[in-house]
Chains A and B, each alone.
Chain A
Amino acid sequence: MAKIQLNGKKVVIKSKYSILDLLKKYDLVNKKIAVEHNGVIVPKVFFKKKYLKNNDKLEIVHFIGGG
């Protein structure tokens, strides 16, 4: 178990949980999104290998309407 902060909200995840696992959980695989892990952008190819640790800060963003 680990506690992370995802888009400003506290989320509890299992141990040995990768970014890809998290994206699966939220139906975000293959969506137009970008991920920032502790302030660093994570390229898509590393989603599978990047495991999450306690207190990690994650931001997942997408495009919304804007002027």
Chain B
Amino acid sequence: MKKDIFKIAGKSLKSRLIIGTGKYKSFLETAKAVEASGASIVTVAVRRVNILDKKKPLLSDYIDPKKIIFLPNTAGCFTSEEALRTLRLAREMGGWKLVKLEVIGDKKTLYPNMIETIKSTKILVKEGFKVMVYCTDDPLLAKKLEDNGASAIMPLASPIGSGLGLQNKVNISLIIKQSKVPVIVDAGIGTASDATIAMELGCDGVLINSAIAKAKKPTLMAKAFRDAVISGRNSYLAGRMGKNYFATASSPTKGLI
């Protein structure tokens, strides 16, 4: 059997699960969840240093960027300019070229502004960034992102932090079928089985934050997601049976007494 390799922007990754590092109670809890999840990539946000508190611990004290890939995001950016500024600063911090672009269009739904997103993707690709793009589940717009050089397409399952799971399987399937770059479902996954469903559809990976961070036991949920993603992938590769309206007996009728 051909080895199942997951690659983003030419880089092979051990895990198809990417996890966010926001909303945890402490950095220790974050680090434990990251370890239990087996994720190779974690997303991080770029923010001002708190100059009033010199002793404040840093995320990088708990998660080693040499072992786990930090994927800088543009959460909270509402315009292309803000997103570009954030990612250029992130690149300056440590040579990060692999980034997650998200340009938000609405405060209440955190729905992506695709016009600004496409505009930003073009510029970032030109500047040499490898851009993973948070987007709507519209196949036409997803194609547009790919045509403009996106390294991964990241359609939402449902609104960020909603936990509503995969709401539009048809659109996600259409995006998977047409895309040559990895498709990673981002946002809205509520529990481990949601991730399995996404993986069974043929997604290349999933990105989870709230579903783990907001679970009663985040470390255990991180482990559940690790297994769910592996199971979903295996199930996809195995190829499910066909569906029938009527029963088909599992035991042979031949030799029946």
B174 within 8 A of A: no
Across chains A and B, the number of contacting residue pairs, with CB separation under 8 Å, is: 98
A63-B22 contact, Cβ under 8 Å, with A31-B58, A32-B94, A41-B89: no
Interface majority SS on B: helix, strand, loop or mixed?
mixed
Chain B: how many interface residues by the 8 Å CB criterion? Answer: 38
A61-B46 contact, Cβ under 8 Å, with A41-B88, A67-B73: yes
Measured in the bound complex, the distance between the Cα atoms of B93 and A9 in whole Å is 22
Pick from B43, B54, B58, B85: contact of A66, CB below 8 A. Answer: B43
A33 within 8 A of B: yes
B111 within 8 A of A: no
Pick from A35, A43, A67: contact of B43, CB below 8 A. Answer: A67
Report B102 CB to chain A, min CB distance, Å. 10
Pick from A9, A32, A60: contact of B58, CB below 8 A. Answer: A32
A64 touches B44 (CB 8 A): yes
Q: Chain A residues in contact with chain B, CB under 8 A?
A: 6-9, 11, 26-28, 31-36, 41, 43-44, 59-67
